Amino acid sequence: MKRIVVTGAGGQIGSWLVPRLRELYGSSKVLATDVRHPGGELTQGGPFQIVDATNPKAVGQAVMRHRADTVYHLAAILSAVGERDPRLAWHVNMSSLEAVLEVAREQRCALFVPSSIGAFGSDTPKDPTPQDTIMRPETMYGITKLAGELLCDYYHARFGVDARGVRFPGIVSFGAPPGGGTTDWAVDIFHKAVRHARYTCFLRADAQLDYLYMPDAVHAAIALMEADPSRLLHRNAFNVTAMQLTPESLAAEIREHIPAFEIDYDVDPVRQAIAESWPRHVDDSAAREEWAWAPSFDAAAMTADMLEHLRPD
């Protein structure tokens, strides 16, 4: 039976991943940690501890006291926040990764480290974006994600650390709000649709990127960590996608349920430029072949489910 520590557990992904891990492996087996106190289900449904993931001693103690064999490392600064404060993004993303990799090496833990479509750059082929291709990211976030992929592979090759990761695309969910990324619009649009039947988008109508609905994102992380290592030709990090959305196409999906819904645009040049440097459609065949990745939600199923959960009764 696994014993797990999750860093950055109070964020958008952690608030979904932790309850699912507790369901699968037992509540007491999953220690949720974050630099801030998130409250709610995360702290009530099982053990929670404040841990600054950039502090190697604090991470090491948490892993040792919990007798963990697996760490899901979610603590990070995301793309848009990272462009506002690039030094903070470098410090948090790289120091915390170094800390968890060293702890994984010393205490022989398996490690999940999410990368991102942000690890690609303008030189990358955009449609389809191969699993193995040119990667020259232009944001500080992307630079930390690519460096993270390489560092995880290095720790695997050099020290045998079982570090695995996926390149998450934009993730849509209800509950904990997104943490300041370029794809946050695909969450905000649902909240505004339900409340005001109107949304002003910070990306252009035709800005196409890959997305996952949160249940598929959680499934991807857990399925990869459960995968038979002998089948993995790659480790860090697998392309995964379920759908390609533009603001225009998602607005059309929402109109199927809320016919009066209207979208207009007030484009933020910083986030638009980030979106333009990212893939339009990643090729996730390596994940499908090596660990049977298969998403459950397309744009129509996700839209129906989001609106069902967000609409007032």
Ligand X SMILES: NC(=O)c1ccc[n+]([C@@H]2O[C@H](COP(=O)([O-])OP(=O)(O)OC[C@H]3O[C@@H](n4cnc5c(N)ncnc54)[C@H](O)[C@@H]3O)[C@@H](O)[C@H]2O)c1
| Count of other CB atoms within 10 angstroms of residue 73 | 26
78 binds ligand X (CB under 6 A): yes
82 binds ligand X (CB under 6 A): no
Strand order in the sheet with 166-168: 115-116, 166-168, 238-239
When the beta carbons of 70 and 183 are compared against ligand X, the nearer one is 183
277 binds ligand X (CB under 6 A): no
209 binds ligand X (CB under 6 A): no
Whether residue 155 lies in the annotated active site = no
Please give the full DSSP string across 205-268, using - where no structure is assigned.
Answer: TT--EEEEEHHHHHHHHHHHHHS-GGG-S--S-EE--SEEE-HHHHHHHHHTT-TT-EEEE---
284 binds ligand X (CB under 6 A): no
Amino acid identity, position 236: N
Residues 18 and 9 sit within 8 Å (Cβ to Cβ): yes
Interatomic CA distance for residues 13 and 298, integer angstroms: 19
Q: Residues 72, 141, 155, 213: which is the catalytic one?
A: 141
32 binds ligand X (CB under 6 A): no
Taking contact as CB under 6 A, which single stretch among the options 73-81, 154-162, 245-253, 282-290 is the one that binds ligand X? 73-81
171 binds ligand X (CB under 6 A): yes
Interatomic CA distance for residues 93 and 193, integer angstroms: 33
Taking contact as CB under 6 A, which single stretch among the options 62-70, 167-175, 235-243, 301-309 is the one that binds ligand X? 167-175
Amino acid identity, position 91: H
19 binds ligand X (CB under 6 A): no
Q: Which residues bind ligand X (CB under 6 A)?
A: 7-8, 10-14, 34-36, 52-54, 74-76, 78, 92, 96, 114, 116, 168, 170-171, 178-179, 181, 183
What positions carry a catalytic annotation?
141
